[in-house]
Structure 1
Amino acid sequence: MNPFISKILVNIAQKRLEANKSSKPITKSEINPLVKKLEVELAHTIKEYAFIVIGVFAAGFGLKGFLLPNQFIDGGATGISLLVQNITKLPLGILLILVNLPFLLLATKTINKTFALRSIIAIAFLALVVHYVDYPVVTEDKLLIAIFGGFFLGLGIGMAIRGGSVIDGTEILAIYLSRKLSISIGDVLLLINVIIFSFGAYILSVEIALYAILTYLSAAKTVDFVVDGVEEYIGVTIISDFHDDIRKVLTEKLERACTIYPARGGYKNDNTHYDKSVIYIIITRLELAKLNTEIDKIDKQAFIIMNVVKDLRGGTIKRKPLK
């Protein structure tokens, strides 16, 4: 790592330790582990914001290169913004912020404040890109506009989710309502978009509404390809020699329940006693980036298995989101 950045991290680590200690001198052995954790956290943060930046520019290309010049709309908060823009001629960048703002406020309760802050940054950045960046108009063919406009918009949404944020707030509303009404996120999103497309058919035309449905389907499939869902549950199995440290992070710092069961190694007929503890936890894909960061701080060599969880019931999965 760059010496200048390393020096900054050392200073941050020293200040954190000084805040937690009264008068004892701080030793190098105490600083080094904290510096390593800060390096991991910085690396993950840079990677996640890189995903967001790529996602914003991809979504901007889908909007200004395909949808906006041809008066097409999409689903979700972006579709609402495009629909209002067609009616009022207000700048799309401003509408993106105004339409998404209530959903972002809801995110502070539904997900967490860090996720909401990242989403605010991502949407504000998208508004600036849409307002100031000139993208070329690629085609006037309606079928190509619907398919590829949806593809690039979905790519942008998916990459933003990979970075731990959203650039379309209706996913947040869908997560909230699914928890309150015990229906799936997909059903909520479908209902929201049916309402949007109905208004599109009434205000613009039935043809544009039908193409908007095609745009939405293209975007939705692209998002599925990039992140496999908005709030899909992931079962994570963690095998590490530092299993107790990881357990403490999950239960104390992240405030999540996990299951621990004994195991023994099976390499080369290893018939020794049960010398390992395997940790199993269920999280959402939106929370996966934070979990990986915390595990890497403790053990970069940890063996981690991730599986999609199709359905679940009971437990405390939805009560304490990662912070």
Structure 2
Amino acid sequence: MHHVRDISMILIGSIIIALAYNFLLIPHEILSSGLSGIAMMLGIITPFDTGVLNFLLNLPLLILGVWKLGKKFITYTILSVVTISVSLSVIPIVGFTEDPILAGIFGGVIAGLGIAIVFKASGSSGGFDIIAMLLSKRSNFPLGTIISGLNAVVVIASGFVFGWDAALNTLVSIYATGKVIDLIHTNHIKLTVTIITAKGEETKDALLSGLYRGITMTEGKGGYTGEKRDILMTVITRYQLNEVKEIVKQVDPQAFMNITQTVEVAGNFDRG
């Protein structure tokens, strides 16, 4: 049932994203964030289909993500990218407003809603999210900082291609998208997860097979029962929280989990 719910959310969120693009942003030459924005720009200035371009631009990252990122996350991301790409090709481009400022604001808000729904289902809409996650594994820069830097490239490109009024509207749209995502789903924070379980080895193996993260194990004893328990600690991104909770629940429904926001990570954030 969890998989059916998550897949439904991925499909709904991805279609909402495509609707925002084709009904509000593309008619006014306003770009979204990420690789989708680059696909939109190329789709406007060339005869190629935006949906096809979106898929082709994301394809190398999706292939790389299969090897480097969590299985569930990348599977759901592939589903989202395919759904967005098909929807962009199928849904007609119709301008719902003649005001580019309104189009940028509401296009960004609606796209942010769709992206947040995809995040809630433990996936992403692809593009710069994958790039940022892969780069953060090597650099330990915050994901939000990396994504902001990459999106600056989209805004600048929009200015040179469509003019600086369009670039400013693109900036407004990206800002609105980010605020909605943050409101619904704080997606770029890191979390520390502490798991206390009677099935430490099984839980550790299940987590290591599904996540690209290190896990530290110690032994503990219940203060009231005196029973021995394994304590697992790992640091994850917000993207991975739902996946971790489901993995732990499947292995040990009685496990205790404590999830806290992490202010800073120093040292190796990958498997160790």
Give the TM-score normalised by the residue count of structure 1. 0.74
Aligned equivalent of 1:310: 263
- Tell me how far 1:313 sits from its aligned partner: 1.8
Instruction: Map 1:201-216 to 2 at 5 A.
Output: 201-216=159-174
Aligned equivalent of 1:295: 248
Distance 1:121 1:273, change over 3 A: closer
Task: Name the aligned partner's letter for residue 234 of structure 2.
Answer: I
Aligned equivalent of 1:38: none
- Tell me how far 1:111 sits from its aligned partner: 0.8
Superposed CA deviations along residues 144-185 of structure 1, whole A, max 9, x for unmatched, are 211111111122222222223221311111122233334322
Paired positions, count: 266
Which of the residues 181, 186, 191 maps onto 1:234? 191
Are 1:283 and 2:204 an aligned pair? no
- Tell me how far 1:66 sits from its aligned partner: 0.8
After the TM superposition, list the runs of 4 or more consecutive aligned residues in structure 1 that deviate by more than 6 angstroms.
none
| RMSD over aligned Cα atoms | 2.4
Indicate the larger mover: 53-62 or 130-139. 130-139
- Tell me how far 1:134 sits from its aligned partner: 4.6
Aligned equivalent of 1:193: 151
Are 1:44 and 2:2 an aligned pair? yes
Superposed CA deviations along residues 252-283 of structure 1, whole A, max 9, x for unmatched, are 23225134453546xxxxxx464463544322
Secondary structure in 1 matching 2:198: helix
Distance 1:307 1:135, change over 3 A: farther
Secondary structure in 2 matching 1:89: coil
- Tell me how far 1:299 sits from its aligned partner: 4.1
The whole-number CA distance in structure 1 between the counterparts of 2:191 and 2:145 is 20
- Tell me how far 1:113 sits from its aligned partner: 4.5
Aligned equivalent of 1:60: 18
The whole-number CA distance in structure 2 between the counterparts of 1:210 and 1:313 is 36
Secondary structure in 1 matching 2:112: helix
The whole-number CA distance in structure 1 between the counterparts of 2:29 and 2:207 is 45
The whole-number CA distance in structure 2 between the counterparts of 1:279 and 1:110 is 22
Contact 2:35–2:57 (CA under 8 A) maintained in structure 1:
yes
The whole-number CA distance in structure 2 between the counterparts of 1:195 and 1:76 is 9
The whole-number CA distance in structure 2 between the counterparts of 1:143 and 1:213 is 11
Secondary structure in 2 matching 1:254: helix
Superposed CA deviations along residues 96-117 of structure 1, whole A, max 9, x for unmatched, are 1011112212212331444333
Are 1:319 and 2:271 an aligned pair? yes
Aligned equivalent of 1:218: 176
Distance 1:132 1:191, change over 3 A: same
Indicate the larger mover: 217-226 or 253-262. 253-262
- Tell me how far 1:209 sits from its aligned partner: 0.2
Contact 2:20–2:111 (CA under 8 A) maintained in structure 1:
yes
Contact 1:233–1:309 (CA under 8 A) maintained in structure 2:
yes
The whole-number CA distance in structure 2 between the counterparts of 1:244 and 1:183 is 35
The whole-number CA distance in structure 2 between the counterparts of 1:258 and 1:49 is 31
Distance 1:313 1:112, change over 3 A: same
Task: Name the aligned partner's letter for residue 110 of structure 1.
Answer: K
The whole-number CA distance in structure 2 between the counterparts of 1:295 and 1:319 is 18
The whole-number CA distance in structure 2 between the counterparts of 1:306 and 1:147 is 34
The whole-number CA distance in structure 2 between the counterparts of 1:308 and 1:76 is 26
Instruction: Map 1:1-323 to 2 at 5 A.
Output: 43-134=1-92, 137-230=95-188, 232-239=189-196, 243-245=197-199, 247-255=200-208, 256-260=214-218, 262=220, 264=222, 272=224, 274-275=226-227, 277=229, 279-300=232-253, 302-314=255-267, 317-319=269-271
Contact 1:105–1:116 (CA under 8 A) maintained in structure 2:
no
Indicate the larger mover: 184-193 or 106-115. 106-115
The whole-number CA distance in structure 2 between the counterparts of 1:68 and 1:189 is 21
Contact 2:109–2:177 (CA under 8 A) maintained in structure 1:
yes
Distance 1:300 1:181, change over 3 A: closer
The whole-number CA distance in structure 1 between the counterparts of 2:241 and 2:202 is 14
The whole-number CA distance in structure 2 between the counterparts of 1:181 and 1:254 is 23
Structure showing greater Rg? 1
Contact 1:106–1:172 (CA under 8 A) maintained in structure 2:
no
